[in-house]
Every structure is written in C-alpha cells, then in structure tokens.
Structure 1
Amino acid sequence: MNNAHINMNEFTNASRVLKQVNSLSKNEIFEKITIIALGSDKLKDYEKISNDIELYRIRLSTRNLPKNLLFQMIKYIEFFVRSILILNKTKPKVVNAHALSVLPITLFCKFIFKSFVIYDAHELETEQVSGMSLRKKLSKWLERKIIYKTDQVFVVSESIADWYVNEYQIKRPPVILNAPNRRELKRNNHFREQLGIKADQIILLYQGGLLKGRGVHLVMDAFKARNDDKVIAVFMGYGELEEEIKNAANIHKNIFFLPAVPPNVVLEYTSSADLGIHLIQNTCLNHDYCMPNKLFEYSMAGLPILVSNMKDMSDLVSSNNMGAVISDFSANGINQAIDDFLSQDLVIMKANAYNVANKNSWEIQEGKMLAAYQEMLK
C-alpha cells in the first residue's frame, strides 16, 4: 500500500509535510511514500529522503511562459499530466493534496487508481484576501464543488475547522497543528556568535516568511524608531522583504538579518533568542484564524511571545499566560508593548510557553493524524 503527497511549491521549507511523511514511515502505514513538488534549475529533480520516501520535483518546460491566466493554465496542465505519470508507477492507495490547487489532481487519482484522498488545508485558502476578487471567487467555487469528494480533510486551527463545518456542512475536520517535535529546553547562542550581538542585549526574534501582511514592516519600523539598542530585532527567513531588511540592518544598530536555516536546525536558532514576535495583520479571515508554526517553534524554545490580536493566536497566548497581545500597531504602540512586556515575570511565561508546546507537540498531532488514517482505511 503506497502513499503520495502533492505540493505546488519547490519543497524547500516544507516542515509540515516532512513531519507527516516521517510519521507515516516510522509507523509503517505505507510501503512507499512519494512526494511531488515543483522543480527549478537550482534544485535536484529527484531525492531519496529515506528508504521508503522519495521526492520528485517537476521542472516545467512551460515555467518561463507569461503569468497571465491562460499561460498559468498551460503550466498547470503540464504539472497535472506529469504528476499522474509519476503516480502511475506506484498507484497510491492514499493521495494527499497539500493545497487547493492540487486537489483536482488527487481526485483524478481517486478516479483512475481508486485512491483515498486527503485534503490537507495548510491555510484557509479561499479567505486569503478580503473582498471578492476573481481569484477568490474561482477558489471558493472550486472548493465548494469538490470538497465533498474527498475522504478526509485536515486543518490547522480550531476556528478553521469550525469554518469548514459551517461553510460546507461537512464532518468536523481533525485539527493537526503545525507544531514541532518535543525538544529538551536548552539555550543556544547562534545569533550572538554569528551576528556580533552583545551578551547584555535582549534578542527579539521574527522567523518565517519575510512577506507583506505578516507584520514585518511593523516590527522593522518600531525598531527604527527606538532610541537605544538594549533590545534588538533579528529577522530570520526569506522573502520579498529580504533586501529591505538587509538595508535597514546596515543603517540601524538594533536590526539584524539572518537567512533562513534548514527545518532540522530551526529550533537550535530559535532558542538563541529571548523573545518571539508575530504581528500578522488582520487583512483577511485566513490571518484571523491562523495558527502558524512559528508560534509553536517559539514556545518549544521557551520564548515568551508577542502576538497581534488575531483570534486563535491571541486566545492561545492570553489563556496560557505565555506572552502578550498587541493591538496598537503604531511604532510607539509596539515599542511601548515591548517595554511593558520586559517589566513582567518572563520566567513564568517561558515555563508556560514550553509547557504549551509540549502539550501540543508533533507527537500529539501525530496521534490525531494516524487515528484519522486508520479510521479512513479500516
């Protein structure tokens, strides 16, 4: 019995999928697991991750075509056909769609291979933007048409699970959080050693995608306005704002940049900070309901966390006394919140954060995931 996981990305930072396939492999649920992703000139087309897990990256011959809707459809058709050709070799019993865009491919597998289909919604994709753009309308129409043909749906937060029940009247999906494996609570010093940060400076860490809408600008502007370097900000990740952060780091002595590190060492770096921050902005329902992996990475490293007032994030932080919630997103408001935060008992918050991380660790999520597989396959 084989399994396949389809992604519409280059699979360079796919920690959620890697945790899932490693758990399935460890528990010997399948004989062989195939991962399919997009290829590029800089990445290997084929990787053998373990004895029973292999990764294929499809380097599209149509990739350099323009990005308008017609040519995007041509690229998608090529990815669709080449994915099916790969899957025809293993004829998987279960196929996992890791985005709405690849769900039609998995449903085609259901038709030709009689596969079970799992739709793993990493985000609330149909609510990623406000308003009703053409793309959003098409996404909502597609999901509504085909979600009933899936055999299982996984989601990443309780509010998203509730949303799917209310929107489509489906059985409540299991919530599989983006949580790391349990880790012994220990400190590291990578940021101070690699970036020249002083021992008495307090490190506030933002890690993850350096993208608009995730509060990166808010944090950067706040630190540009600070008059001292008692607290410094480290941005660790990659994305469209990378050059802007590098430029700010060259000018301001309290802003630092470090490129993204591999998923297997992320927590070693996270535990080199003193505080974590994630000020995602409420630009859409997807943001309001999000429970990002960095939230649990911070807490597994024992970091108190500053978060924006998004529903699920703020509920977790406030109810467990593991950080503080920021509502005033002005530079002065953020800096005041940071200064107020530092006057509190951070020792208790660190302990609370680590306890929450262990109660929600991947070992716990793995159990929920495996139970869903067993129920589906019995």
Structure 2
Amino acid sequence: MHTDVCFLLTEHPFLDARIFKKEAKSLLKQGYRVTMIVPRIEGYLFDIDGSTFTERFLEKTFYYEGIKIVTYEQMFPEKNIKTLHYNLQSKKNNQFSDPLTQLGIEQDADIYHAHEFFSLYSGILIKRAFMSQGKRCKLVYDSHELEPDPLLKQPIQTLKIKIQMLKIMLKELDYLVTVSESIKEWYLSFNLNLPIEIIYNSPPLARDYVPKKTNNSELTLVYEGTVNKKRGSFDKFVHILELVNKQMSVKAKIIGGWKADKYDNNHYNLTNINDHIEFVGWQHYDSIPKAMKDADIGWIDLDVSHSLNNRFAMPNKFFSYLNNGVPVLVNQCKDMAEFIQTYRCGYVVPKLKADAQDYVEALLYLENYKLDEMSYHAREIMESMFSWEHMENRLFKVYKKLMDG
C-alpha cells in the first residue's frame, strides 16, 4: 500500500533545490507517492531565478519526473493576518476557503509537508478538516528559515500576531524539520516537546570531484546564489575586488546572479575589475560542481545585525562550497562560524557586519595559509557526514516515525 505525501508551497519555486531536487525526489525513490501544490504568478510557474515558464508547465495539474504537480494562483495571506490568527484561535471547521487548503484537502494525503510559515497555516487547516471528518493525517513543517524573525524590520503588531500563530501551530504539528542547530533551539523555546530533526541544505556528493592544488599566485573567489540588497551585496563584492587586486591577484566568479527582471549588471561600473570577474549565470542544479572546479574560496556575507535568521543560517551555498572542496569565507554568522571552527574548513571574519576591507585582509591572510588543508577538510566532512546522501537518511527516519505513529 502506497503512502501519499503532499508538499504545500506558498512562496518557493516548484523546482527549488531543497524541495524538489532533494526531498521530493528522495521520497519518490523511497516509494512514496509525492504531490506538490505550488503557486503560479499571473498564470505561470516560476523558475529559481524568478523568470516565468511561459511555454511549458502550463497545465493546472501535470506530472514531472514522477512527481504530481498541482498549481494555483499565488496568494498573499499576510495581508489578512488578523483573520488567519482568528481562524487558528477559533478552531472552527469552516475556515477552509484559501486555494492551497482546498487543494490540499482534495489530495487526501497521509502526510502533508509544509515549506513556509503560511503553507504551515494551510497544513493546520487541512489537518483540522480531516479530524472533523474522523480522518487522520500527519503534518511536517520544513522550516527553511526562522520565521517570524524578531530582528527583521516589521510592524510590532504583525510580529506579535505571527508569534502567537506560531505557538498555536506548533502544538498541532507532528514533526518539525529545520536547517541549523540554533533554529532548532529557537523552536524548542516555544515547545520543548516538539520532535525536531535538522536536515542541512546539502547537495548530493559531487561525483567527479578531483582535489586541486591552490595557485597562491592567483586566487579565485566564488559566489553562488542570488545577488540583491539582502544577499550577496554586489557593491561590496565589487569593492573587495577593486581593493584586493591592488595587492594580489584575485579573480571572481558569480554562479547565479540577479533575479529575473530585477537588476542588470550593466547598472554597475565594472571598468576597474572587468578582467577579474566572470558571470557564469544560473546553472542547472547538476552543473554547479563543474562551474566550481576552479574555485579556491567561497564567499558568504550576511547582515546578522538585523536578522536572527541570517545569524543562524546554514544556506545552500555554504554546503555547495564544501561539497566541491572550497573553503568558506564568511562574516560572524553563529552557526556557520561554529561549523567552520569545528571542522577547519574555512575562515570567519570576526565581525557581525564586515566591510570590504575586512574581507580583503582575510584574503591576504588566506593567500599564505593552508587553503589545500581547508579544502581537504571541506570535502572530507561532506563525504563522511553531511552530503545529501546522509541527509536523506534523516528524512527517511522522520517519515518512518510518522508512519509508525
């Protein structure tokens, strides 16, 4: 007898690396029947770079790589947050009007797996709807990020309401999955009895990896992911390259870049560093290791002063660097810093908010340091403990516990 799993999404693209490429595909491989309910933007599904699929994936329901995809027009539940809070408090059985909840009920799944704060809300309503009919289902919350983030700039009343909502929802949850030790501890501060598993944002082990010898006469600094005001400050990246190349040779590679229709690198004056920077663009998930073969150091810079989530983050790019034997250079983000110090796989600039000069000084230090040794540690810990092959076993154990009741 098959076990039906239904992923609930309100914000993420349906081809998200963690959600589709790893979790959904792993569960499918394990014998689960997987459905994903995913949002469209003005009628179209959207890709990881924010661009829309205007010529394919046009059906409302279809199968892709063995996974059933059910779509709906994206909604913005935060605009009605007081109503959502009331629905959770009242526990009435007739508040199932939003499309994600309705479509979720129609799937009649055994396990629902929510991936955002507001998809968790729909998951709670789905579970209540089944309970009112004498049915049972299990609900997993996959908290990719810490939400609500108490340090993020937002109306105080909205923060209070979201925390109250979270406390209610955590009581009705069957399992929580998250991405770092600190986020786990934060959730346990609300509910000590909550079953939690950490599943890191790790990629599958890169199979064609070849250890490399660092060329200290010229280092390659790589950045993977989105470039915007919140992540990967491009202004700072450019400034680093301008300053450091006055003292040593550093080339840069950007794998990813701007979200579609948001920014254009022509907006920036790259005259001084044009020969030192390469834009690789958004890569297919399986092509990232090839694009990272010549990288010596992977850069991550997050504003931890105004975001508890950033302070606790362990993002995809962190493990992507390690997977390819690339030591990580990061500012003082708590969980990444502790990981790097434990496994000696990178360098931490000891500042909550590091500027370009701080990173330049770190690069000058790393030029003469044991980058090859850091690279070895990075790859070795992925092989032995942290690649997706290890993480999917944690996911399977969570699901077995859910099915065993």
- Of 363, 370, 375, 1:350 maps to 375
User: Cα distance 1:48–1:231, how it changes in 2: closer, same or farther (>3 A)?
Assistant: same
8 Å CA contact 1:48–1:54 kept in 2: the answer is yes
Which residues in structure 2 correspond to 1:42-57 (within 5 Å)? 42-43=52-53, 44-46=57-59, 47-51=62-66, 53-57=67-71
The residue that corresponds to 1:118 in the other structure is 140
* 1:125 counterpart SS class: coil
User: Cα distance 1:17–1:214, how it changes in 2: closer, same or farther (>3 A)?
Assistant: same
CA distance in 2, matches of 1:326, 1:245: 30
- State the Cα distance separating 1:155 from its structure 2 match: 0.9
- Please state if 1:231 is matched with 2:250: yes
CA distance in 1, matches of 2:14, 2:7: 15
- State the Cα distance separating 1:175 from its structure 2 match: 0.6
- Of 21, 27, 44, 1:24 maps to 27
- Of 268, 273, 278, 1:247 maps to 268
Alignment coverage as a number of residue pairs: 359
- Please state if 1:204 is matched with 2:206: no
Cα deviations by residue, 1:2-44 (Å, 9 ceiling, x for unpaired):
110011125155111121111111111x2x2111111133322
Q: What is the identity, as a one-letter code, of the residue corresponding to 1:233? A: A
Which residues in structure 2 correspond to 1:333-348 (within 5 Å)? 333-348=358-373
CA distance in 1, matches of 2:137, 2:257: 36
CA distance in 2, matches of 1:101, 1:88: 16
Q: What is the identity, as a one-letter code, of the residue corresponding to 2:63? A: K
TM-score by length of 2: 0.80
In the alignment, structure 1 segments of 5+ residues that lack a partner are 190-197
User: Cα distance 1:272–1:157, how it changes in 2: closer, same or farther (>3 A)?
Assistant: same
CA distance in 2, matches of 1:49, 1:243: 32
In the alignment, structure 2 segments of 5+ residues that lack a partner are 45-51, 85-95, 131-135
Which residues in structure 2 correspond to 1:11-90 (within 5 Å)? 11=13, 13-18=15-20, 19-28=22-31, 30=32, 32-40=33-41, 41=44, 42-43=52-53, 44-46=57-59, 47-51=62-66, 53-60=67-74, 69=79, 81-90=98-107
- State the Cα distance separating 1:81 from its structure 2 match: 3.2
CA distance in 1, matches of 2:237, 2:97: 40
8 Å CA contact 1:301–1:354 kept in 2: the answer is yes
* 1:171 counterpart SS class: coil
The structure richer in helix per residue is: 1
Query: Greater CA deviation, 333-342 or 109-118?
Result: 109-118
- Of 371, 374, 377, 2:397 maps to 371
CA distance in 2, matches of 1:308, 1:103: 31
* 1:167 counterpart SS class: coil
TM-score by length of 1: 0.85
CA distance in 2, matches of 1:39, 1:188: 42
- State the Cα distance separating 1:252 from its structure 2 match: 2.4
Q: What is the identity, as a one-letter code, of the residue corresponding to 1:95? A: Y
Query: Percent same amino acid at aligned positions?
Result: 21
CA distance in 1, matches of 2:319, 2:308: 21
- Please state if 1:262 is matched with 2:295: no
The residue that corresponds to 1:147 in the other structure is 170
Which residues in structure 2 correspond to 1:103-114 (within 5 Å)? 103-113=120-130, 114=136
User: Cα distance 1:259–1:80, how it changes in 2: closer, same or farther (>3 A)?
Assistant: farther
* 1:179 counterpart SS class: coil
User: Cα distance 1:367–1:335, how it changes in 2: closer, same or farther (>3 A)?
Assistant: same
The residue that corresponds to 1:8 in the other structure is 10
8 Å CA contact 1:207–1:237 kept in 2: the answer is yes
CA distance in 2, matches of 1:171, 1:321: 32
8 Å CA contact 2:175–2:195 kept in 1: the answer is no
The residue that corresponds to 1:176 in the other structure is 199
The residue that corresponds to 2:133 in the other structure is none
The residue that corresponds to 2:93 in the other structure is none
Q: What is the identity, as a one-letter code, of the residue corresponding to 1:94? A: I
